[in-house]
Amino acid sequence: MRRRTLVGLGLTVLFLTAGLSGPASATVAEDLCVSGTPHEGIWHGGFPSDPPAIGADDLQLGIELPLPVEYPACQGTIATVQKTDGTHRTTVSLDTMGGTGHPPLMTFYGYMTVPLADGVGTWEIVKLQHGSSVRTLSYRFVVRRLSVINVLQPATVAGAGNTIVNGTLKRYTSVGGLVPSPGRKVQIMHANGEQVLANLTSDAYGRFRALIPFTQTTKFYARTAQVGFFSAAVTPYQRTAHRLLAVPKLSASPTAKVGVFWKVSGAVYPGKVDTRLDYWNGSQWVWTLSSGPSNADGTFARYWKPAAKGTYKVRLSLVRAGLDNSPLYRVLTVTVS
């Protein structure tokens, strides 16, 4: 009997507990305006996907509240935001409803001011309030100093030489000035966003320099990762490393014999280049049956066996995709006896 009595009391307590806790949870859930998860959002001067960073002035930072359904009555929901040390406690009225752009539909947002002088650090959203409905939470985000990276347009390079890429990396200070950002890793990236062309480190003056052996005209940009309380940065444009075919050496005799192979040889850069030899018969260019790629070291040789006496124009064609001056032609005059 005692065992059944205890079990009965236990069930009674269980139902009483469920009865007490059920309505309390339901009361919070009924107000959708405090049910979403707020977070930091778009900021003036940044792209929608950029983490917040302070530049030359106070940062106007969006605080967003996405909701599972469209509920216009949530306009005016208030978010309380502060730094994790308790300073700069402020309230943000989420009184604007997002459209089809940024922020997206069913998102309420408002802006807060993050001070230039000491706004860098970790912040948290600690409370949502809509009317009498209050929800406490701790959503944290980091605000950094903005970094700025630039790369200069490199000079055009002909032949096998390296392209010199120069740039600078700077960061903003607590008074809004730009100063060098030394000792940071920098990558020179192909425009495809996948191929790393060079890994560098900024010097004491924020400068970086790379020698890159481009073999064709290539678009590129520079980037650096975030470190500490300094933001990541990407150059806001792409530069182009222009490359040209160069023929530093070409050797051929000005005379030839009927029925005897005549040769033109030389070197061409950069990389393997398609070569072809034609002669002018008085009305059109005719292939001499000699063509092919240059050797790995750039050297090549092309041949022609003239069939009749006379003075001829002989054309050497040099072709490589991705070079600004391709195809490149060299026309020689040959007297055949």
Tens digit of each residue's pLDDT (9 = 90 or more) over 109-148: 999 999 999 999 999 999 999 999 999 999 999 999 999 9
316 or 29, greater pLDDT: 316
pLDDT of residue 42: 76
Confidence (pTM): 0.80
pLDDT of residue 49: 65
Cβ neighbours of residue 99 closer than 8 Å, sequence gap 6 or more: 105
The CATH topology of domain 147-242 is: Immunoglobulin-like (2.60.40)
The CATH topology of domain 245-336 is: Immunoglobulin-like (2.60.40)
Residue 3 pairs with which residues in a beta bridge? none
C-alpha dihedral (188, 190, 194, 197), degrees to nearest 10: -50
The pLDDT of residue 295 is above 80:
yes
Of 29-38, 112-121, 214-223, 248-257, the one with minimum mean pLDDT is 29-38
CA distances from residue 60 to 44, 99, 111, 260 in whole angstroms, order as listed:
6, 20, 6, 81
The CATH topology of domain 36-143 is: Immunoglobulin-like (2.60.40)
The pLDDT confidence band at residue 75, using thresholds 50, 70 and 90, is confident
15 or 323, greater pLDDT: 323
Q: Where are the domains of the chain?
A: 36-143, 147-242, 245-336
Q: Is 28 helix (H, G, I), strand (E, B) or coil?
A: helix
Radius of gyration of the chain (CA): 35
Are 147-242 and 245-336 equal in CATH topology?
Answer: yes
The pLDDT of residue 44 is above 50:
yes
Q: Are 127 and 139 in contact (CB under 8 A)?
A: no
